[in-house]
Structure 1
Amino acid sequence: MSAERPSLPPVRLHTDAELARDALAAPLLARAVRLARWAGPQTRVGAGGELVDAQLPAAAEHLGLAEDEDGAAYASEAWRLAVDAGLVDVEDPEHDGEDGAAGEDAEGTVTAGENLALITTGSPQDVLGIWLDGLDAVHADATAPAFDDFADLIGDDGSVDFDALDWDPEAEAEFLDGVLGNLYALTLSDAGPGEGPVPLPALAASVVVPDDMDEPTDDVLEQVSEAMMRLDDQFRLLEPIGIVEYRPVDETLLTEEGEEAVPPADDEDVTRYGMVKLTPLGLYGIRERMLAAGVDAPAVGDLADKGADVLLDGIAYYPEGAARAEVELWLGRRGARDGAQAAAAELLGAARGADRGAPLRRLHCQQALALAGPEAEPAVRAVLDDPELGGLARVWLVERGASDVPAPAESMIFWLAVDTIAAQLDAEGDMGELQELVEGLSGQHSGFFDEAWRVDHPATAEVLEAMGRLHRDRKTAKAARKSAFKARSRTGS
């Protein structure tokens, strides 16, 4: 089986219990829960389920926001989330017109929703499911059109003129999802900010500036500026649901004409143009949305209950820290069930093979066995005579100070050298380290290239060609290329 590269690095998520606590602490959901518990038969709602204007002051007061000039707006927002997340159920007004329609001033009734009890009695997964419903609702609000006067959109026949909105809901959702996906990838990337925030201009540029554009044009910079302001509004809406920590754009930077902030010059304080980072809850929420959309978004722990073959293929292109964490989880679960010796034997069995992914599997098997502990020794000694595994078994034993390790045959030494370089080439790691490995292996044996072309390994010719490219000594590099030619001639390829 050949490993496939995941489209995103694996994420290390907090436990469900920790994430559920974060979800309940999110300001918007916390307010929605408080309003759902406050609501009762006396609560007055409109035909669309919204709190009527006369009810908003009491709702704001219950939330402790009576003195806040935006208290009523916050209460209205929290109520909408309570409805969308199933914390309250709203019955439509009774039909009282001749045509069966509800009257203009008709009001609905409110009862506790099924999900309200789950907030306190449900499992962490139940709470996260409610929170995800809330995230979907807030995401929809963040991509909804903004307008100054809704009355201007109503036609003579009473219908809404959607063309006048100049709004493409799919395009708006795709834009925001693209931004959140880039923020997710940046957070997990070794070259990204890690747990630190990302400047809003850089995030906007990531979805606007073409990858092959070295220097943005004035037109592209204007598009970046427009995207920044869209994102500024959207992140202000998303922050209360708990997925991001956001420092908004400094309002003093806004121009009077277009109300847009110009992307900063190199010598300006970039933090004034907005800074955003995903929270642990945000990493979970965005990953769930990507999984629902069919995106390959692995998480550490996904492979803990899989077979050793799936584990070794799955971690093939994981970053070192994530691969180690995944193996530790796998060993902990498999060792507790079958014992460390059985787990080691399963890893060694999965490392065999002549397919293209086999060298990298053997490399990760060796790294996994390093975490297995001394209990794995009987399984390792059992493969000392195996032509594919005998070399790594000897390395494992020697590293643990074993004094009775049999010397390998010269053919095994050369085979292990080719296999090791093939694995490193497939992993596409640090080229400087690979260059040192190539020069070290070839330097250990004065006639390395006189013998290496005879090695019966599927990657022999490819490895020798790579050694010819990487070796800094011209004479040795030429010998490597000549050896590669002999290897191809021997196999007829």
Structure 2
Amino acid sequence: MSADSHPTLPPVRLRSDAELARDALGAPLFARAVRLARWAGPGTRVGVGGELATDQLPDAAAVLGLDVADEDSAGYASQAWRVAVDTGLVDVTEPEDDNGEGDEERFGTAAPGEDLALVTSGAPGDVLDLWLAALDTVLADAAVPDLDDLVDALDAGGEIDFDRLDWNPGREADFLDGVLANLYLLTVTEGGAADGPVPLPVLAASMIVPDGMGEPTDAVLEQVSDAMMRLDDQFRQLEPIGLVEFRPVDEELMAEADGPLEPETAGAADDEDVSRYGMVRLTPLGLYGIRARMLEAGVDAPAVGELAEKGADALLDAVSLYSENAAQAEIEQWLAGREQPAAAAELLAAARGDDEGGPLRRLRCQQALAPAGPEAEPAVRSVLDDPELGGLARVWLAERGVGDVPAPDPEMVFWLTVDTIAAQLAADGETEELPLLMETLTAHHTGFFEQVWRVEHPATAYVLEAMGRLHPDKKAAKEARKAAFKARSRRPA
């Protein structure tokens, strides 16, 4: 899975390993592989590649409870056997080479593998490792063209003409990895798919339509249509392993279409019409599986709760990159089980710093301290005289109606204003709410811009430039721009 497209992703909420392991054991294809592994024995015969002998496929299908008369049952049994072999649930001994002597077909043997015991006696993590190995097999199969395409690509000698097939194994695997990465991103991003399904045209377009393209050309739309049909086949294969929930493209829609499907019409259609083009979503087990593959590829794919045992410095640095809701979820898990006084002191110490990330760390620290009770008050009071934390401490105490809190001096007020706006800019950028915050913070200070440019804060000029663009009062915005120039001029190059 490519590590380049999404170097850092939003944190994902995962179920417990025990819950995920139960989901894995309940995935139809994995459950079939386990049943065949238990069935394997002295009478089981396998070919050179470890595949089950053709005449044993009906027996294997019967073991799986499949209708032997169904022409697809042998294919299902063969796929489950391949998963069992690839995951180590079955050990195979391939037939010995007869050096071309004799016409009799030789067979190897198979027996339950050592890893089969992990299904019932292993830890949840052991089961998940087996399931991930099964997922690798299914993904590799899904990247292979369907049988009809392979037959069409046979040359006169019965060999596959790969040029005619236009199939590149690496390219196909990368395409499917990219699709799954995009589906993962849509699922974990706030405002994205969340728990809802993603229309297949949206997913296909995310891989085909270039960024910044307005109205897609007919050629691009045809590529999107081709990708949709390829994904329709691939997601049908991925659903039995428990990776996705999938609603295929409506076959009637394909029959009605004169030529390629026109997925662009789905954007203007109602929900029922969109669903006819196919809908897919990652299951909780699928989220786990795609994240595991991303981590293996070097992608930073955090999960909520993985910072619970780390220090406050690691926590604040990490959640500074998260959305507010994701940060809150991570903070809550970090606070659980910690004594409030010690946790508050550790958070405040980690919030210090005049580096670029300091303002946002302090904002997240303030967020982390918001639910703290009276037990945290001594730690908060201890930083009242700290030039970086004193303003934060006063806000926290004032919100709880605590008396005898010394009023901040003007320098601290200006510093806190700059720090607050810098944090908001770092967290959310230039939002619609930011101008109102700027107006609120500056309205009660006469001559604010005449003094603020002198504030010894590394973000002073940056904040003033933003205020010059965003402040809703034109006069104040002009004053902010003048103050920004002065702040730039007094700082060393």
Quote how far apart the aligned CAs of 1:454 are: 1.8
* Counterpart position of 2:38: 37
Answering whether residue 292 of structure 2 is matched by residue 291 of structure 1, we say: no
Opposite residue 40 of structure 1, the aligned amino acid is G
Taking the aligned partners of 1:414 and 1:68, their CA distance within structure 2 comes to 81
Partners of 2:106 and 2:48 in 1: CA distance:
7
Out of 312, 328, 334, which is 1:330 matched to? 334
Which residue in 1 is equivalent to 2:342? 342
Q: 1:93 aligns with which of 92, 95, 100?
A: 95
Cα drift, residue 470 of structure 1: 0.8
For residues 166 and 491 of structure 1, the distance between their equivalents in structure 2, rounded to whole angstroms, comes to 61
Once residues 50 and 236 of structure 1 are traced to their aligned partners in structure 2, the CA distance between those partners, rounded to angstroms, is 22
Give yes or no for the alignment of 1:279 onto 2:280: no
Cα distance in 2 between the residues matched to 1:221 and 1:238: 25
Contact 1:225-1:260 within 8 A present in 2 as well: yes
Does structure 1 retain, via aligned residues, the 8 Å contact 2:244–2:281? yes
Deviations 1:425-460 (A, max 9, x none): 111346122111101001121221122112111111
> 1:427 aligns to what?
427
Q: Are 2:141 and 1:168 equivalent residues in the alignment?
A: no
Match of 1:250 in 2: 250
The answer to whether structure 1 residue 319 and structure 2 residue 323 are counterparts is yes
Q: 1:385 is matched with which residue?
A: 385
Does the CA-based 8 Å contact 1:181-1:286 persist in structure 2?
A: yes
| Residue range with higher mean Cα deviation, 314-323 or 118-127 | 314-323
Deviation at 1:163, TM superposition (A): 4.5
The secondary structure found in structure 2 opposite 1:89 is strand
What CA distance in whole angstroms lies between the structure 2 residues aligned with 1:62 and 1:465?
A: 72
Query: Does the Cα contact within 8 Å between 2:465 and 2:481 map onto a contact in 1?
Result: yes
Paired residues for 1:45-60 under 5 Å: 45-60=46-61
Bigger Cα displacement from structure 2, 15-24 vs 89-98:
89-98
Matches within 5 A, 1:132-171: 132-148=132-148, 153=154, 162-171=162-171
The aligned counterpart of 1:407 is 407
Give the residue type in structure 2 aligned to 1:91.
T
User: How far apart, CA to CA, are the structure 1 residues paired with 2:47 and 2:35?
Assistant: 20
Deviation at 1:298, TM superposition (A): 1.3
What secondary structure does 1:110 align onto? strand
Give the TM-score normalised by the residue count of structure 1.
0.93
* Cα separation, partners in 2 of 1:413 and 1:140, compared to 1, 3 Å: same
**Conservation of the 8 A alpha-carbon contact between 1:340 and 1:372:** yes
TM-score by length of 2: 0.93
Q: Tell me how far apart the structure 2 counterparts of residues 264 and 246 of structure 1 sit (CA, whole Å).
A: 20
**d(CA) in 1 for partners of 2:359 and 2:106?**
72
Q: Which among 55, 64, 80 is matched to residue 82 of structure 2?
A: 80
- Cα offset for 1:114? 1.6
C-alpha separation in 1, matches of 2:210 and 2:369: 44
1:306 to 285, 302, 310: 310
**Are the aligned partners of 1:57 and 1:66 in contact in 2 as well (CA < 8 Å)?**
no
- 8 Å contact 2:323–2:427 — kept in the other structure? no
Retained in 1: the 8 A contact 2:7–2:299? no
Distance in 1 between the 2:383 and 2:200 partners? Answer: 55
Partner letter of residue 75 of structure 1?
Answer: A
Question: CA 1:239–1:258 in 2, change beyond 3 Å: closer, same or farther?
Answer: farther
Counterpart Cα distance in 1 of 2:50 and 2:488: 74
Per-residue CA deviation, residues 134-161 of structure 1 (Å, 9 max, x unaligned), is 00000000001334365974785x8765
- In the alignment, the residues of structure 2 paired with residue 386 and residue 452 of structure 1 have an alpha-carbon distance, to the nearest angstrom, of 19
Deviation string for 1:300-354 (max 9, x for gaps)? 1222222211111111121112111111121225x1xxx3222211111111111
Give yes or no for contact 2:46–2:94 (8 Å, CA) kept in 1.
no
Distance 1:414 1:25, change over 3 A: same
Q: Which runs of 5+ in 1 are unaligned?
A: none
Aligned equivalent of 1:270, options 254, 270, 274: 274
Change in Cα spacing, 1:30 to 1:125, as seen in structure 2 (3 Å) is: same
Q: Secondary structure at the match of 2:445?
A: coil
Instruction: Provide the secondary structure at the position in 1 that maps to 2:110.
Output: strand
Alpha carbons of structure 1 residues 447 and 38: separation in structure 2 relative to 1, 3 Å: same
Q: 2-side partners of 1:258 and 1:141: how far apart?
A: 30
In the alignment, the residues of structure 2 paired with residue 258 and residue 117 of structure 1 have an alpha-carbon distance, to the nearest angstrom, of 53
String of CA shifts for 1:68-118, please: whole Å, max 9, x gaps. Answer: 62222211111111111111011011333367xx96611110111121100
Kept in 1, the 8 Å contact 2:44–2:110? The answer is: yes
Contact map agreement 2:222 2:260 (CA 8 A) in 1: no
Q: Tell me what 2:370 maps to.
A: 370
Contact in 1 for aligned 2:68/2:74 (Cα 8 Å): no
What displacement does 1:46 show? 2.0
Q: Contact conserved, 1:6 with 1:298, CA < 8 A, in 2?
A: no
For structure 1, which segment, 433-442 or 53-62, has the greater mean C-alpha deviation from structure 2 after superposition? 53-62
Q: Does 1:204 align with 2:204?
A: yes
- The CA distance in 2 between the partners of 1:74 and 1:259, in whole Å, is 31
Residue deviations 1:44-64, cap 9 Å, x none? 222222222211111111111
Q: In structure 1, what is the equivalent of residue 3 of structure 2?
A: none
Cα 1:6–1:383 shift into 2, 3 Å: farther
Q: Compute the displacement of 1:472 (Å).
A: 1.4
State which drifts further: 17-26 or 42-51.
Answer: 42-51
Take 2:359 and 2:226, find their aligned partners in 1: how far apart are those partners? 49
Distance 1:103 1:325, change over 3 A: farther
Counting only pairs closer than 5 Å after superposition, residues 106-145 of structure 1 correspond to structure 2 as 106-145=106-145
Deviation at 1:8, TM superposition (A): 1.3
Q: Where does residue 10 of structure 1 map in the other structure?
A: 11
CA contact (8 A) 1:16 1:124 kept: yes
Is the contact between residue 255 and residue 261 of structure 1 (CA under 8 Å) also seen in structure 2? no
Taking the aligned partners of 1:462 and 1:98, their CA distance within structure 2 comes to 79
Instruction: State the 1:373 CA deviation.
Output: 3.1
Q: CA RMSD in A?
A: 2.2
Q: Secondary structure at the match of 1:273?
A: coil
C-alpha spacing 1:431/1:98, structure 2 compared with 1 (3 Å): closer
CA contact (8 A) 2:14 2:288 kept: yes
Secondary structure in structure 2 of the residue aligned to 1:215:
coil
Describe the SS at the equivalent of 2:281: strand
Q: Is the 8 A contact 2:221 2:264 kept in 1?
A: no
C-alpha separation in 2, matches of 1:258 and 1:39: 49
Pairing of 1:462-473 with structure 2 (within 5 A): 462-473=462-473
